[in-house]
Structures are given as structure tokens and as C-alpha cells.
Amino acid sequence: MTILFNNKFLKGFMLCLVIAIIAIFIQKLLQRNFTKNIVDQLLIAMIIGFFIKQQFSLKNFTSGINFSSKYILEIGIILLGFSMNFTHIMSNGLSLLFLILFATLLSFALILLFARKIFNISSNLSILLATGNSICGNSAIVAIAPILKATPSEIGIAISFSAICGAIQIIIFPLLFPLTSLSLYQYGIIVGISVYSIPQVIAASFAVNNISGMIATQVKLIRILFLGPLALLISYIKHQDVGLRRENMPTARIFLPWFIIGFIIAVIIANTINIPDILLAYLKNISSFFFIIALAAIGLKIELSEIQKIAWQVIIVVIFANILLLTISFIGINLLELT
């Protein structure tokens, strides 16, 4: 590809790569000093990119930034499929599985309706907020964003405000646990269902007890499994909507982006072939690193004016999402007698 020898492309890609490395270093430094993974590497990379965007002209970096925000992101999504392990479902009771399924579907629908109908937030941003908060945080947002053709600002808004609330949960949840009558098992379920991202789930649950941490992590991993079906559904709905708007397309057909096909193939391979754990670990790390590079690129494309116009509405939606998930999980563990 001649693009690889283009100086502007290389400068843009290298900028994203350097930001990703700096973000990893900062996150490791924070984790060493605070013993908890409070701030996700994706968020750090995006924030660094955002501040660089506000201070410098990036006209000569555009092609590399665009490549990183699209193709590096999509390859990362494919590799993410190797982390989808269905054996987690088999290790939990049907009651718990039902609660996770119900909480995920209901919260997605209600968050989407709340954002669209109450605050008239754009369809793309509403879906990103609903996906991130109901399923698995930043990874879900960056996986769904290419299907929606979401703008960098929409991605940035969805991730930043949701992640901030998730960071607050890390501090508040362990402090409130002693004031409740919850068992360690129940606390783990609640954290796994209601906390935003995997690192934040781990931090908020293991801070209380290892039992809570193991339960919370498993619950969160099961929630992540819904990402694949949701991606297929959104892809179909978006394509159908476009098809119905075109005069030359009276009927809509199912369309799957190439990276979603790759994601599905990766999931099938991971659950049918005995892949060595060390290889799976490498694939997971590469996927995570690609996401960090992509989020750095997305940060470099965010427009501040777009965030300012919608900030307070998004904050309220995210708070609503947190309260909703907490309520569903509290009611669920009592109705299903999960002790």
C-alpha cells in the first residue's frame, strides 16, 4: 500500500502510537500509586489526543489519524472476539444468568428511550450511551461506533462522561458496602451488573473481598457476551433504515461490516478450538493496544464545541443509567433470592 510510505500518514499514525504508549505509562503509574485501576487507558489516550487537538493544527497528520481511528479500531474489534468465552455462562446458575440478561436488555432499552425521548439526544449518541452503560463500557462503545458511523465527538462524549461516573463508583461502592446488609456474593452481583467497565468492576469489587471480585468479574464477562448479538442487531437495523430511505431499494437486506464478520469468526474459533492460553493472552493484549491507539486518534478528532452543546444532558443520562442498573440489580437479587 502506497499509503504506508506517505509521510503525512506515518506522522499521524506515529502520533497516535506515541499517545497510546504514554497513556499506558500514565495508567501504570496511577495504578502503582493508588493500587486501583481508577482510570482506563482508553480514556487517558482519548483525553491526551483531545488536548493536543485543541492546541495544535493537525492538518499534516490527518491520513494517519483517520487510518488509526477506523482500521486499527476495526482490527481491534476482530481480535476482541477471541476473548468471548461462553464457558462463563455454564459456571453460573440459571437465575443469575436470567438476571444478567434481563438487566442488560431492560437497561439498554430504557437508557436509549430516556436519551432519545426526554433529551432528544442524537440516535448514534443515545445508542452508544445505552451500549456502554448496559454492556461493557468503553470496549462496547468503540465496537459499536463504526457500525453507527458515529463521529469522534459522539464517541468521546459517550466514553468520557460514562467513565467519570464509573470512576466515582469505584470510590463510593466499597465505602457504602459496610452500611448495607448485602452478602459478599450479592455485592459482587450488583457491582458486576451496575459498574461501567471491567477495570472499574475489578477495582470496586476486589476492594471489598476476593469472593465479591470473582463474582463481579464473571457477571461482567457474561454481560460482555451480549456485545456480539447487539452488534448484529444494530447493523441490521441501521442498514434496514438506510435501505428503506432509498428509492432504488424497496426492501432492505442484512448487511454485516467486515469487522463484525471477523469478530463472529473469532468468537466461533475461540469457543470451538482449544487455543493455547498464552496465544489468547497475546491476542487480547494486541486488541487492547489497538483500541488505545484508536482512542488516541478519536481524541485527536474531537470537536470541543460539540461536547459543550450536549454535556449536561449526557451527564443526566449517565446518572440515570447508573441508578437504573443499581435498582434492577437490587430488586433482582431479592426477587430471585440470590444470596
Task: Answer with the residue of higher pLDDT: 253 or 30.
Answer: 30
- Sequence-distant (≥ 6) Cβ neighbours of residue 205 within 8 angstroms: 187, 188, 191, 192, 195, 212, 213, 215, 216, 217
pLDDT for residue 2 is more than 80: no
Question: For 182-230, how does the pLDDT look when each residue is reduced to its tens digit (9 = 90+)?
Answer: 999 899 999 999 988 777 787 788 778 878 887 887 788 788 878 888 8
pLDDT on residue 286: 92
- Sequence-distant (≥ 6) Cβ neighbours of residue 310 within 8 angstroms: 121, 125, 157
| Cell numbers standing for residue 191 | 457491582
- Sequence-distant (≥ 6) Cβ neighbours of residue 45 within 8 angstroms: 19, 20, 22, 23, 292, 293, 295, 296, 299
Contact 65, 15 (CB under 8 A): yes
Contact 141, 291 (CB under 8 A): no
Confidence of residue 241 (pLDDT cuts 50, 70, 90): low
Mean of per-residue pLDDT scores for the chain: 82
pLDDT for residue 264 is more than 60: yes
Range scoring the smallest mean pLDDT among 43-52, 104-113, 234-243, 275-284: 234-243
Which sign, positive or negative, has the C-alpha torsion 125, 21, 222, 175? Answer: negative
In whole angstroms, how far apart are CA 273 and each of 73, 268, 326? Answer: 25, 8, 37
pLDDT for residue 128 is more than 90: yes
Q: Which of 45, 46, 50, 194 is nearest to 132 (CA)?
A: 194
pLDDT for residue 168 is more than 90: no
Confidence of residue 93 (pLDDT cuts 50, 70, 90): low
Q: How many residues does the chain have?
A: 339
